[in-house]
A and B are shown apart, each in its own frame.
Chain A
């Protein structure tokens, strides 16, 4: 091992033999695992979107009124223009904004409940091995259960209203929240616990003042990723339903499907990932700002809170 590295160092500095000169140009355009400039990254991303739209445009192109001449029939896939013409209808008649907010409210309630239960319990489970072993079977069950199969069960338990959707999300996500939280606490290096012990901290103080706060960045990161998962699950709960319209993006898709309209479905499918992505970015900003020592944010919120708490004695440096 050492020999190899010793040999490798001079070899890298020595001029390469003739005919083995590196393909410098190629490496500059496509460096292995390298960074790309913002402009280049934007260009490639834009190219992808344009490519997808172009393919969509070509396979659905045809003279107006002669649908049978298209490569793909409009009953399978409407054309780009037809889809975007449906925008006003989706926003107006189908109340896209309201339905998005209804869906978000459900995710926030269900996933919020998971956090309220899962995070404290996860921290305790990491700290108390007996509790961890006690919860282990539930974790295995909760993480591996096919989520869709839970839906009929939740109808029996929680009825067909809002409560059922919130509880479905809670059951589907709480095991992940709990086990990710426990893993984050177990990942805090033992030396912090040792330090706290030699500084006279009690067991409870170690949990609340050391392990909890030091695991917080990882916990927040897990919750951000799991929020995306919960956003996917809520669609499932809204698609499978009894009775009348209950609102939400899933319901919007359901209604369009029953009326045989493809355009609203396609639009909602475009909008859902965009909303999810925007939420994820917002949470990422919050995360890096809350934990600048871990994610390199500006730390505006902690500094502002510190300034509020300590007043003049610490200066607020944005």
Chain B
């Protein structure tokens, strides 16, 4: 359990469905690549804190498809650190050692090619739903008529009513609707990488399943690479083509597991026997990793 799992290791448990294998690399740069990334705060002082140590992994860029990678692990294992490093957000970025590459280029700062959806509601309270969704286009200087037309289209795509909801303000929306706005606001910019930091963590279970379906549908449409942090093993198994299991002290990737793709809607898929078996196996693996981490001397 040291360092990161090697690339392409199908550490897949004997699932009922066969886990897919990575297609052979065709020379395309990886969607996301971490090379020996370490983040230490206040290095060399008494307040030194290691967030992640020597994290390396690769998420391939599948042409016209993209894939969803989910990140599971206990609090403080550095899941958010990994995600915010891809986004280029301080203070997690820049890494103390190592480098982060997105589509073959080293990350130098934040940009709209890597969209991010946060767990906390980050709708701009002073803007209407339409104003929120078109924020990024407005920053790019897209003319008002065009960005509003595009904004309305995306409001409809995330399951809101452009006629009724476009002029509403965030405080008039439910939590699920706010996250729909946040997703539309990110996807309208057509990012190649979508970063989601526990976006459904604050939602009730039924809304959560709806949002999972919505995410899968939109992801097929935009063909982007998704990195998704969650605390829920079910969510990680259902959404993930690839699950990264992380461990603490120091934060690192303990295992990388390929998952069969779920092709049914969340409510149907998550009651099937193979799904439960997959969840149980992953759960056992998580517990083993946590037990190993808490063993003395580790």
A interface, CB within 8 angstroms of B: 189, 191-192, 194-202, 205, 209-210, 213-214, 216, 291-294, 299, 306, 314-315
Contact = CB atoms under 8 A, between A and B. Distances in A.
Interface string B91-131: 00000000000000000001110111010101011111000
Contacts of B84: 194
Contact of A195 (B111, B122, B125, B138): B122
Contact of B167 (A200, A209, A306): A306
Most buried by B among A195, A198, A213, A216: A198
A315 B114 CA distance: 35
Interface in B238-271: none
A213 B126 contact: yes
What are the nearest 4 A-B pairs in CB distance?
A200-B112, A197-B110, A199-B136, A293-B171
A214 B167 contact: no
Given A192-B122, A200-B136, A293 B167 contact: no
Contacts of A191: 118, 120, 122
Interface of B: 84, 87-89, 110-112, 114-116, 118, 120, 122, 124-128, 135-136, 138-140, 166-167, 169-171, 185-186, 189, 195
B112 A198 contact: yes
B139 A200 contact: yes
Nearest to A310: B167
Given A292-B169, A314-B166, A199 B125 contact: no
Contacts of A197: 87-89, 110
22 contacts: A194-B87, A194-B116, A194-B118, A194-B122, A195-B116, A196-B135, A197-B87, A197-B89, A198-B87, A198-B114, A198-B186, A199-B112, A199-B139, A199-B189, A200-B111, A200-B136, A201-B139, A214-B124, A214-B126, A299-B169, A306-B167, A314-B166
A209 B139 contact: yes
Contact of B171 (A210, A216, A292): A292
A287 to B, nearest CB: 14
A157 B140 CA distance: 49
Contacts of A209: 135, 138-139
Contacts of A199: 112, 115, 135-136, 139, 185-186, 189
Nearest to A197: B110
Contact of A214 (B116, B118, B125, B138): B125
A189 to B, nearest CB: 8
B84 to A, nearest CB: 8
Contacts of A294: 125
Given A194-B84, A200-B136, A213-B126, 7 more contacts: A189-B120, A197-B110, A200-B139, A201-B135, A209-B138, A209-B139, A214-B124
Nearest to B195: A198
A205 B171 CA distance: 23
Contacts of A198: 87, 89, 110-112, 114-116, 186, 195
Most buried by A among B88, B135, B185: B135
A172 B230 CA distance: 53
B126 A205 contact: no
A314 B152 CA distance: 13
Contacts of B138: 209
Nearest to B152: A313
A47 B92 CA distance: 60
Nearest to A189: B120
B280 to A, nearest CB: 29
Contacts of A299: 169
A38 to B, nearest CB: 26
Most buried by A among B87, B112, B122, B136: B122
Nearest to A303: B167
Nearest to B88: A197
Contacts of B126: 213-214, 216, 291, 293
Contacts of B136: 199-201
A197 to B, nearest CB: 4
Contacts of A201: 135-136, 139
Nearest to B130: A314
Contacts of B87: 194, 197-198
A282 B128 CA distance: 26
B139 A195 contact: no
A162 B298 CA distance: 76
Contacts of A189: 120
A194 B87 CA distance: 9
B55 to A, nearest CB: 21
B129 to A, nearest CB: 11
Contacts of B124: 192, 210, 213-214
Contacts of B169: 292-293, 299
A293 B139 CA distance: 23
Contacts of B114: 198
Contacts of A196: 135, 139
B131 to A, nearest CB: 10
Contacts of B166: 314
A293 B110 CA distance: 29
Contacts of A293: 125-126, 169-171
Nearest to A198: B116
A214 B138 CA distance: 17
Nearest to A212: B126
A166 B140 CA distance: 43
B204 to A, nearest CB: 22
